[in-house]
Amino acid sequence: MHLYLHIPYCAAKCPYCDFNSIAGRDGEHAAYVDALLAEVRRLPTGPYATVFIGGGTPTALDHRELARCLAGIRDHIRLAPEAEWTCEANPGSADAEKFRILAEHGVNRLSLGVQSTDDATLRWLGRIHDGAAAERAVAAACAAVPRVSADLMFGLPGQDAAAVARDLDLYRRHGLRHASVYHLAYEPGTEFHARRSRGELAEIPSEDSRRLWSAVADGLAALGLEPYETSNFAAPGQESQHNLAYWRGRDYQAAGAGAVSTVDGVRLTREKHPAQYIAAITAGGDAVWRREALTAQDHLAEAWMLGLRLAEGVDPARLADLGDDPARWRPLAVPLIDLGLLVERDGRLALTPAGRLVQDEVTARLMP
Ligand SMILES: C[S@@+](CC[C@H](N)C(=O)[O-])C[C@H]1O[C@@H](n2cnc3c(N)ncnc32)[C@H](O)[C@@H]1O
Ligand code: SF4
């Protein structure tokens, strides 16, 4: 079993971010932890192979609330042997003591939102940390837990291959074995999106994006980190087991504001706003505002979309189980294979590096 827990708070809202996260509201944190733990206590006890506390920023909680939250989770759930327990952290709201608290309660993997190592770039991104803070946070995380990942953002105006190389050196300096690298996306509803609409910001040319992506992929390959998903790179065996389970279409339990669970074909989405979530749980309700029974068509669409994100690709046997006849998709796949965008490897269907650059188009062609 897999479990996702959401902490919706951040010290400040980044101007590009459309995650379910909200700044401030520190006075609400204790009530939120109470509500989250009440929901956790209603979940099956496990054993869980993976747990992932994401956000928002789990480390936006102060030391006391963080410890209380983790202890409450540990009191209720059982972890499978060798379980992976990840927590996200922002270098600007984490310190060695928070990492120690996390490790003490069983967290064995930290994922840090570094984004960049360059002070000016971090300021432009509206981040609350600078390069030195990122360096300290990564070092403290490595001292606290066995596995550390860092998020980077690329595709930023003015960013060149040399800047990417300087950022990637962080992984070398600290011996990190996992990287998540995201192209800056202008998400509707964000400040960056509004600024782009006003003509104050512009997307970089796609040719530049591709050049930067090659710099990312080549730089990480030189460090022994291979792409295993569209935005994720790892040394062999260091992949995020939690996210792999999600991309492979496994069931996962969840708790927290805006958190989504999928169990036995039923997908539940919880109230996004923490105040509404707290009110619903405190009143004895489940805070679920959307309940979907996934259809065979939904499962199939996700098998294609998520499967093609993975380097391992889509399993035709799984597609057949979900009712997709090779007689439908094979004639669509053959021209893509001939174009070098798709490859059949180990009996599975995967994107090539060239196909990865046009992932959305290739996926759309193959989908039922
Ligand atoms: C929940 S945050 C990680 C933890 C913490 N909140 C932080 O930002 O440090 C998830 C990651 O998504 C990425 N991200 C969020 N919004 C993005 C956007 N609009 N474009 C590209 N990457 C984005 C960032 O790399 C960020 O680290
Ligand atoms: S990028 Fe992270 S820190 Fe920034 S607003 Fe989003 S969730 Fe919060």
CB 157 within 8 A of CB 212: no
CB 135 within 8 A of CB 172: no
Closest residue to atom 2 of ligand 2, CA basis = 56
Torsion of CA 297, 298, 302, 304, to 10 degrees: 10
Q: Which residues have C-beta within 8 Å of that of residue 285, sequence separation ≥ 6? A: none
Q: Which residues have C-beta within 8 Å of that of residue 128, sequence separation ≥ 6? A: 11, 12, 90, 92, 93
Q: Which residues have C-beta within 8 Å of that of residue 334, sequence separation ≥ 6? A: none
* Residue 304, amino acid: W
| Helix or strand holding residue 327 (H, E) | helix 326-338
Q: Which is it for the CA torsion 140, 142, 148, 151, positive or negative?
A: positive
Backbone angles phi, psi at 209, to 5 degrees: -55, -45
- The token pair at 218 is 């080549």
CB 61 within 8 A of CB 14: no
- pLDDT-flagged residues of the chain (< 50): none
pLDDT 10s digits, 4-62: 999 999 999 999 999 999 998 999 999 999 999 999 999 999 999 999 999 999 999 99
Ligand 2 atom having least distance to the Cα of 113 = 2
Ligand 2: centre distance to CA 159 (Å): 21
Report CA 246 to chain centroid distance, whole Å.
10
Ligand 1: centre distance to CA 57 (Å): 10
Q: Which string of DSSP letters, residue by residue, matches 93-106?
A: T--HHHHHHHHHTT
The SS3 call for residue 342 is strand
pLDDT of 24 reads 87
CA distance 311 to 231: 11
Ligand 2: centre distance to CA 342 (Å): 34
Ligand 1: centre distance to CA 340 (Å): 32
- The token pair at 174 is 């600290």
CB 41 within 8 A of CB 293: no
- The token pair at 216 is 């990312």
CA distance 288 to 302: 22
Domain ranges of the chain: 2-247, 296-366
Ligand 1 atom having least distance to the Cα of 192 = 19
Do domains 2-247 and 296-366 share one topology? The answer is: no
Ligand 1: centre distance to CA 80 (Å): 29
Q: Considering only the top CATH level, what class is 296-366?
A: mainly alpha
Q: Which ligand is nearest to the CA of 58?
A: 1
CA distance 173 to 150: 12
Residues with CB under 6 A from ligand 2: 10, 13-14, 17, 19, 21, 55-57, 90, 113
Q: Does domain 2-247 have CATH number 2.60.120.200?
A: no
Closest-CA residue to 124 (of 149, 159, 95, 89): 159
| Helix or strand holding residue 288 (H, E) | strand 288-293
* Residue 228, amino acid: Y
Ligand 2: centre distance to CA 13 (Å): 6
Closest residue to atom 3 of ligand 2, CA basis = 10
CA distance 16 to 126: 8
pLDDT of 368 reads 87
Closest-CA residue to 79 (of 107, 110, 58, 103): 107
Residues with CB under 6 A from ligand 1: 10, 16-17, 19, 54-55, 57, 88, 90, 113, 115, 151, 153, 182, 184-185, 187
Ligand 1: centre distance to CA 113 (Å): 6
| Helix or strand holding residue 164 (H, E) | helix 161-174
pLDDT of 231 reads 97
pTM: 0.97
Q: Which ligand is nearest to the CA of 19?
A: 2
CB 277 within 8 A of CB 270: yes
pLDDT of 330 reads 95
pLDDT of 99 reads 98
Which residues, listed in sequence order, are joined to residue 334 by a DSSP beta bridge?
none
